[in-house]
């Protein structure tokens, strides 16, 4: 659904914003000291919801619920710590102190149902509100929230009768579509600049990577592509928009660059290289430590250096099976497996913040102030917490993996990963250098998958001769080139955050205004 069903009220009063921020800081500090205290998670959930971050409020409320449930299980390692906070010191008096636990549970359920409602997850909000009222029928607050959720849900059901998208879906897709919500994609104001700006070290390392991958034919430089973009279209890291420039004259049809994949996933990883998703030949390379197999020594070494240590010996098939069974489309399954891979990389490189792990730091998200990100509790919160727990992360005590970090990671991946299909299987890959090439609807470079072994690496070659110092552009989506400029711009907004200002778009806009004929660029007829 493109428009939000529930509009989140933005805070506008400066005084109020300051007060909420202060409150948020102090609760976050308390969570550093007492990560297993459900009441602090509930309070922070309330503050985050008031600040207009229902996705983060959902994460905190759900953490509170997990803690409360664990406190009932004497075999859980966390029970004693949570019970300490719930003021239940003696396990033998647990039953006598049950009322305190119930109050915390009522509050957590209330916070969760409200946060999910604001996140447009109407089905999940209704499910939790119903569960809460069934468990605590006497709680008036819960009953009134259930009434609000039910009315929003019913209203949405009537509205959705006019939703054309539903007509073409099968039952599972429809169920998934109705279940999933969406939240505003945004840069969180407390994120420190060093978590997204590209420092001098990174620039040097990127320059080295791109020179090596292109046999010194091109280098990174400040791009001029976004000059004149309105200020409100600013995105994370906008101050440093790079472009790729030719260092020398390059002839037509020259091989320009090979961009090896940084992370990728396929909906069904059977018989695939667990590093590049390429097909495994008989000569595949076995990992020394476990049963993982790779297509080449290059992939085996890359996996070991970047993420394998975090997954070695862990059974991840539970995720693969669950995604194939529960998620409506193979693309969504691939998305989640890629997220798992990125998290594994962050866990292995735990000396760095997850947003600063080698290739993740290179990625930028696109926030235009109106873009909505898909969001639901089952995938974004429950599924992600399970992944982290499986990777050995304490989701309560390790604040490096706080929900805002996870959402930022998802936004960066969403803006940079490319999806494609081979033999009916959904693939998704992040190629770190390819994302530095800016888009033009009249590109001078063509990119394509490295067809050998179905690897997710990208090969690039020039479409026409290029002169020294010229910026090199690719086409972000091949099907775009045949569409009229207004349609292209509409589609491109998801990556560019504003209207495409490439030469072809600008020329076509002028021609359109003057009522002139629009010519198809000759360079594209050779595509
Ligand atoms: Zn491989
Ligand atoms: Zn291993
Ligand atoms: Zn354009």
**Residues measured by CB to lie within 5 Å of ligand 2, the ion:** 287, 289-290, 312
Please check whether residues 373 and 447 belong to one and the same domain: no
124 CA distance to ligand 1 centroid (A)?
Answer: 39
Tokens of 501: 């200002």
Boundary-marking domain end, from 138, 161, 184: 184
Percent helix / strand / coil, the chain, rounded to 5: 50, 10, 35
Residues 6+ apart with CB under 8 A from 165: 1, 177
In this structure, is residue 43 part of a structural domain? yes
Please check whether residues 423 and 454 belong to one and the same domain: no
Please check whether residues 280 and 388 belong to one and the same domain: yes
523 CA distance to ligand 3 centroid (A)?
Answer: 14
In this structure, is residue 2 part of a structural domain? no
In this structure, is residue 9 part of a structural domain? no
Ligand nearest to the CA of 313: 2
Please check whether residues 352 and 494 belong to one and the same domain: no
- What burial letters (b/e) apply to 23-58, b meaning 16+ CB within 10 Å? bbeebeebbeebbbbbbbbbbbbbbbbebbbbbbbb
Tokens of 88: 């239940």
Task: Give, in degrees to the nearest 5, the angle at Cα 367 between 361 and 371.
Answer: 135
In this structure, is residue 466 part of a structural domain? yes
Strands 293-294 and 285-286: antiparallel
Ligand nearest to the CA of 294: 1
Boundary-marking domain end, from 378, 397, 430: 430
In this structure, is residue 7 part of a structural domain? no
In this structure, is residue 6 part of a structural domain? no
Please check whether residues 197 and 175 belong to one and the same domain: no
503 CA distance to ligand 3 centroid (A)?
Answer: 7
Per-residue pLDDT of the chain (527 residues; tens, 9 = 90+): 334 455 566 677 888 888 999 999 999 999 999 999 999 999 999 999 999 999 999 999 999 999 999 998 888 888 888 988 887 544 545 555 688 889 999 999 999 999 999 999 999 999 999 999 999 999 999 999 999 999 999 988 887 777 777 777 777 677 777 678 888 888 898 988 777 666 666 678 888 999 999 999 999 888 867 655 555 554 544 445 789 999 999 999 999 999 988 899 988 877 888 888 888 887 789 888 998 899 889 899 999 999 999 999 888 877 777 766 665 678 888 899 999 999 999 999 988 899 988 788 888 777 777 778 889 999 999 999 999 999 999 999 999 999 999 999 999 998 888 888 877 788 899 988 887 899 999 999 998 877 665 677 889 999 999 999 999 999 988 888 889 999 999 999 877 878 898 989 999 999 989 888 777 777 666 55
What is the per-residue pLDDT across 84-141, written as a single tens digit (0 to 9) for each? Answer: 888 754 454 555 568 888 999 999 999 999 999 999 999 999 999 999 999 999 999 9
Please check whether residues 246 and 98 belong to one and the same domain: no
Q: What is residue 421's three-state secondary structure?
A: strand
Please check whether residues 51 and 179 belong to one and the same domain: yes
- Let me know: does 368 contact 498? Beta carbons within 8 Å: yes
Please check whether residues 244 and 380 belong to one and the same domain: no
> Strand pairing partners for 221?
243
Ligand nearest to the CA of 277: 1
Residues spanned by the domain of 51: 14-184
Ligand nearest to the CA of 483: 3
**Residues measured by CB to lie within 5 Å of ligand 3, the ion:** 441, 500, 502, 505
Boundary-marking domain end, from 406, 430, 454: 430
292 CA distance to ligand 2 centroid (A)?
Answer: 6
Please check whether residues 281 and 395 belong to one and the same domain: yes
- pLDDT value of position 453: 56
In this structure, is residue 1 part of a structural domain? no
356 CA distance to ligand 3 centroid (A)?
Answer: 32
In this structure, is residue 3 part of a structural domain? no
- Let me know: does 28 contact 190? Beta carbons within 8 Å: no
Instruction: Tell me the pTM.
Output: 0.84
Ligand nearest to the CA of 275: 1
Please check whether residues 445 and 489 belong to one and the same domain: yes
- What burial letters (b/e) apply to 370-385, b meaning 16+ CB within 10 Å? ebebbbbbebbbbbbb
521 CA distance to ligand 3 centroid (A)?
Answer: 12
How many structural domains is the chain composed of? 3
Task: Give, in degrees to the nearest 5, the angle at Cα 178 between 175 and 181.
Answer: 130
CATH of the domain at 20: 1.25.40.10
Please check whether residues 480 and 379 belong to one and the same domain: no
Q: How far apart (Å, rounded) are the C-alpha atoms in residues 412 and 507?
A: 31
- pLDDT value of position 325: 67
Phi and psi at 333, nearest 5°, equal -60, -45
Please check whether residues 63 and 144 belong to one and the same domain: yes
Nearest to 101 by CA among 64, 128, 130: 64
213 CA distance to ligand 1 centroid (A)?
Answer: 17
């Amino acid at each position: 659904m493109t428009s939000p069903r529930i509009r989140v009220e933005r805070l506008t009063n400066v005084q109020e914003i300051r007060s909420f921020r202060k409150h948020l800081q102090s609760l976050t500090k308390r969570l550093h000291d007492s990560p297993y205290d459900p009441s602090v998670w509930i309070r922070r959930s309330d503050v985050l919801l008031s600040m207009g971050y229902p996705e983060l409020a959902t994460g905190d409320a759900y953490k509170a619920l997990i803690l409360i449930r664990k406190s009932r299980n004497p075999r859980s390692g966390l029970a004693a710590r949570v019970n300490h906070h719930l003021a239940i010191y003696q396990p033998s008096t647990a039953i006598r102190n049950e009322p305190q636990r119930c109050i915390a549970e009522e509050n957590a359920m209330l916070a969760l149902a409200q946060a999910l409602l604001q996140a447009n997850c109407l089905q999940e909000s209704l499910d939790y509100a119903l569960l809460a009222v069934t468990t605590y029928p006497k709680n008036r607050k819960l009953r009134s929230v259930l009434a609000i959720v039910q009315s929003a849900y019913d209203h949405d059901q009537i509205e959705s009768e006019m939703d054309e998208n539903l007509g073409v879906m099968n039952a599972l897709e429809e169920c998934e579509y109705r279940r999933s919500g969406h939240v505003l994609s945004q840069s969180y104001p407390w994120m420190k600049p060093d978590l997204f700006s590209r420092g001098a070290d990174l620039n040097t390392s990127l320059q080295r990577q791109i020179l090596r991958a292109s046999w010194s034919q091109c280098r990174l430089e400040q791009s001029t592509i976004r000059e004149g973009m309105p200020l409100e279209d600013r995105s994370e890291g906008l101050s440093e928009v790079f472009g790729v420039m030719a260092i020398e004259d390059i002839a037509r049809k020259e091989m320009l660059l090979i961009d090896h994949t940084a992370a990728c996933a396929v909906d069904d990883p059977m018989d695939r290289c667990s590093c590049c998703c390429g097909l495994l030949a008989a000569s595949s390379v076995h990992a020394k430590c476990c049963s993982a197999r790779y297509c080449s020594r290059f992939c085996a070494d890359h996996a070991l250096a970047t993420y394998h240590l975090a997954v070695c010996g862990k059974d991840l098939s539970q995720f693969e099976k669950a995604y194939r069974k529960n998620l409506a489309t193979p693309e969504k399954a691939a998305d989640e497996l890629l997220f798992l891979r990125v998290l594994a990389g962050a866990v292995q490189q735990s000396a760095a913040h997850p947003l600063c792990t080698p290739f993740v730091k290179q990625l930028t998200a696109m926030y235009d102030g109106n873009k909505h990100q898909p969001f639901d509790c089952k995938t974004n919160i429950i599924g992600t917490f399970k992944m982290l727990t499986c990777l050995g992360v304490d989701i309560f005590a390790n604040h490096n993996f706080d929900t805002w970090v996870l959402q930022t990671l998802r936004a960066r991946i969403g803006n940079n990963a490319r999806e494609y299909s081979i033999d009916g299987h959904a693939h998704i890959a992040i190629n770190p250098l390819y994302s530095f090439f800016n888009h033009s609807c009249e590109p001078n470079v063509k990119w394509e998958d490295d067809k050998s072994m179905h690897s997710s690496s990208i090969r690039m070659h020039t479409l026409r001769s290029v002169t020294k110092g010229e910026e090199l552009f690719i086409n972000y989506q091949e099907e775009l080139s045949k569409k009229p400029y207004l349609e292209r711009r509409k589609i491109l907004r998801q990556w560019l955050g504003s209207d495409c200002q490439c030469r072809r778009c600008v020329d076509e806009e002028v021609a359109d205004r003057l009522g002139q004929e629009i010519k198809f660029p000759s360079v594209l007829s050779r595509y």
